[in-house]
Amino acid sequence: LSLLCLSLGHPHPLDPLTPSEISAIRSIIKSSPLGSSMNSSTGFHYVGLEEPDKATFLSWKSRPAAHPILPRQAFVILRSGGQTHELYIDIANNCIASQHVRLGNGYPLLNMEEQDAVLLLPFNYTPFVESVKRRGVELSDIICSTFTIGWYGKKEGRRLIKLQCFVAGETPNIYMRPLEGITMLADLEAMEIMEYKDRFIVQVPAASGTDYRASRQMPPYGPRGKQVVVAQPEGKGFIINGNIVRWANWAFHVGFDTRAGMVISDASVAVENGERNKYRSVLYKGYVSEVHVPYMDPSEEWYFKTFFDNGEYGFGPLSSSLVPMIDCPSNAEYMDGYYANGDGYPVLIPKVFCIFERYAGDISWRHTEMMLPEKVVRS
């Protein structure tokens, strides 16, 4: 594929993809031979910056004037025709630099669109509707969630997902009110329920007393509900320039990634060197690589629950906007984040990060529930 080149310069080679770049990447793929073979089941599962290698970046950093613009590339994973495609996109030249089909075990991140679609299946599935009636709860109070199936020695040729459901009703704490005994296995690409089991009935706990918001302890509150107040009569002690944050004698780059969420790169600290300060590198790149949550219950309805939060769901799409004076204090500054949805279009998460100074020793905690229809619950 050979198309007209674009000129998309960037001030910093580690800056995450912009919405215009994400849109350009989608257009490049859609107009390629691969794009012409895509159908309605095609899904984008990862779109992110393909960073320059460390040596190239450090060379640029030492002499940025000699390398004013490093080439911008993106790495894309998509599913099409029952195959996983990995593509490297040359954004500056508006073309696919390379592509191949990934073979072997494993599948890419789930995207939000396919999860939303598969979670509609139970409500039109007669055995499930009848199971709900037998438990004496209203179908309108049911919320379902996806659970990856794990690997237990059986190689699957399809992308499968477990579905389990909960009763919301008068509490946002749906996990306290599961529909025990019911498990469903669905095909993510055929979008159909392949296997259904209703082994036993357990009475659903009452909603009363299960609302975790009862304490009403919300950050930026500290221990014993004492509100955290930071006095800065001379203003903030940090400066944000694009994605670069400078505070005291520190400087670091903040990025946002579909899989990893927040990424801290090129963190350095200024140390005295004679009459001038010299920045010493402390961290080249840091992020949460994975969060593994094994439930370790051997029963049929629980044994497969071993979440890999980053590798299976991605921190990016599961991030939520931060609310001033609830998530972050009054002296905070905010940064937005963008990711590509299942159709390849850019999605904005405003105020996905907040940066602020606070006194040491103040403890905060946070719970956000986004599974409730058209509602985000914070506590």
* pLDDT for residue 7: 37
Given a contact cutoff of 8 angstroms between Cβ atoms, the answer to whether 258 and 16 are in contact is no
* pLDDT for residue 4: 29
Fold: same for 19-102 and 112-214: yes
Report, at the CATH architecture level, how domain 19-102 is classified.
Answer: Roll (3.10)
Amino acid at 41: S
* pLDDT for residue 143: 96
Given a contact cutoff of 8 angstroms between Cβ atoms, the answer to whether 60 and 47 are in contact is no
- The closest alpha carbon to 239, from 357, 361, 63, belongs to 357
Percent helix, strand, coil in the chain, to 5, is 15, 35, 50
Rounded to 10 degrees, the C-alpha dihedral 273/279/283/285 comes to -160
CATH code, residues 112-214: 3.10.450.40
* pLDDT for residue 216: 47
Model confidence over 67-122: pLDDT tens digits?
667 889 999 999 998 899 999 999 989 999 999 999 888 899 999 999 999 999 99
Model confidence over 145-156: pLDDT tens digits?
999 998 887 777
Secondary structure element (H or E) that encloses residue 263, with its range: strand 261-273
Residues of the chain with pLDDT under 70: 1-10, 67-68, 213-229, 274-277, 361-365
Instruction: Measure the CA–CA gap between 21 and 23, rounded to whole angstroms.
Output: 5
Which strand ranges, in their side-by-side order, compose the sheet holding 142-148? 142-148, 160-167, 182-187, 192-198
DSSP assignment of 308-351 equals EIIIII-TTTT--PPPBTTTB-TT-EEEEEEEE-TTS-EEEEEE
pTM score, whole prediction: 0.89
Cα Rg of the chain, angstroms: 24
Q: Could you tell me the residue ranges of all domains in the chain?
A: 19-102, 112-214, 233-287, 319-379
**What is the SS3 string spanning 22-73?**
HHHHHHHHHCCHHHHCCCCCCEEEEEEEECCCHHHHHHHHHCCCCCCCCCCE
